[in-house]
Chains A and B, each alone.
Chain A
Amino acid sequence: MTAPDDTAARYRRPVPVLWWTGRRPYLLFMIREFSSVFVAWSVVYLLLLVRAVAAGPAAYRGFMELSASWWMLALNVAALALTLFHTITWFVVTPKAVAVRVLGVRLPAFMVAGPLYTAWIAVSAFVVWLLVR
């Protein structure tokens, strides 16, 4: 007996909407992508600050009060955490994207990422110094 094969039929597995929840690497990837929203928020927040400073002491006070509200604090703590996460993921990626070869031998990842972390710490230290001096 011959099975009446429909040879043109190929089965395509549908991609579920929540495909990224099934595997840890996919989930981390989605968090990384999502974290860029918070990076953008940090920029917007900075712009709001600049606008408030430019508009005079009253506006600045209003901005500071807004910033002290519980939900704004929560938002900014989340933004800080996710921005840190975002930064680190990029620093992890950099040695993969930038293949530095010295005398024909590719530099190990830490030698490419190391300067990035060093620069990051230096800038942060400078900012802290500005704030506390």
Chain B
Amino acid sequence: MSAEPAMRAAETAGESIVLRVSRYLPGRDAEPVPRDYEVPLREEWSVLDGLNHVKDVLDGSLAYRWSCRMGICGSCGMTVNGEPRLTCGTFLSEFAPGPVVVEPLRGFAVIRDLVVDIEPFLGKLASVTPWLVRNGAEPPPDAEFAQTPEQLGAYKQFSMCINCMLCYSACPVYALDEDFLGPAAIALAQRYNLDSRDMGAAARFDVLAAAGGVWDCTYVGECSAACPKGVDPAGAIQQYKLTAAMETVRRFLLPKGAR
């Protein structure tokens, strides 16, 4: 539906592919039920285009989230043939002749069909102080904090997170223990820790090094493999483990006043 001229142009051989979509409506279904929909197989159609076709033409009741269709808003993460993917950047032709199995992101409670509950993430994100902390030190009036490209480079990668939740879905630790802060929240905490303008590392330590923090990570590494934006949350967590270990030792050895 996003590109009507394209629909006109791309009437090709009439090939099709089956989307096997997980359907779940609380009150009606005890558990998700797969349902098959036949959609046109077009080279330029993403899985999301297929879902939009289902919703527009075949079954308006299908529920899923989407918005930007260009891999930046982070809405449309789903499990496609077993892997966590952004459906707007995953193409039907990759799975020909099909079927393409579309399920909600794993590791999260399912609200309906392909929609999962990401509220727990919002809480975790807020808990790691994901903003610039200055501890009362005023920013320069009418000027920017100077930050060299090198200093920017130190945290830039971790600032690229789109909160799409694919990393949580790939993380077996999170699946087994929902109290785990998880890859994206820790990477974003580290994004601020490494920012030359920030002074909040001590406050974040109390959350990151506590129960549910970095030490829960067993380094499966799949979060970084799933990340569509190259953030490498697994790297962020391992780096912070080193930081946390040093900080713990430092706090143990130094008297309170000298910290």
Q: Does B12 contact A (CB under 8 A)?
A: no
Once the chains bind, are A25 and B238 in contact (CB under 8 Å)? no
Interface positions, chain B 232-251, Cβ under 8 Å from A, are 232, 234-235, 238-239, 241-242
Of the candidate stretches A7-15, A48-56, A60-68, A115-123, the one touching chain B is A7-15
Q: How far is the CB of A20 from chain B (nearest CB, A)?
A: 7
- A-B pair count, CB < 8 Å, reads 85
Interface positions, chain A 1-45, Cβ under 8 Å from B, are 3-13, 15, 19-20, 22-23, 25-26, 29, 33
Once the chains bind, are A11 and B222 in contact (CB under 8 Å)? no
Q: Does A103 contact B (CB under 8 A)?
A: yes
Once the chains bind, are A10 and B148 in contact (CB under 8 Å)? no
Once the chains bind, are B111 and A19 in contact (CB under 8 Å)? no
Residues of A within 8 A of B106 (CB): 13
Q: How far is the CA of A25 from the CA of B219 in the complex (A)?
A: 11
Once the chains bind, are A12 and B238 in contact (CB under 8 Å)? no
Once the chains bind, are A3 and B32 in contact (CB under 8 Å)? no
Q: How far is the CB of B255 from chain A (nearest CB, A)?
A: 29
Once the chains bind, are B26 and A19 in contact (CB under 8 Å)? no
Do A12 and B150 contact each other (CB < 8 Å), given the known contacts A6-B26, A6-B27? Answer: no
Q: How far is the CA of A97 from the CA of B221 in the complex (A)?
A: 11
Q: Which residue of B lies closest to A106 (CB)?
A: B153
Interface size in chain A (residues, C-beta < 8 A): 30
Q: Does A107 contact B (CB under 8 A)?
A: no
Residues of A within 8 A of B241 (CB): 97
Q: Does A57 contact B (CB under 8 A)?
A: no
Q: How far is the CA of A101 from the CA of B149 in the complex (A)?
A: 13
Once the chains bind, are B220 and A11 in contact (CB under 8 Å)? no
Once the chains bind, are A97 and B111 in contact (CB under 8 Å)? no
Instruction: Mark B179-219 against chain A: 1 for CB-CB distance below 8 A, else 0.
Output: 00000000000000000000000000000000000000011
Chain A residues proximal to chain B, CB less than 8 Å: 3-13, 15, 19-20, 22-23, 25-26, 29, 33, 93, 96-99, 101, 103-106
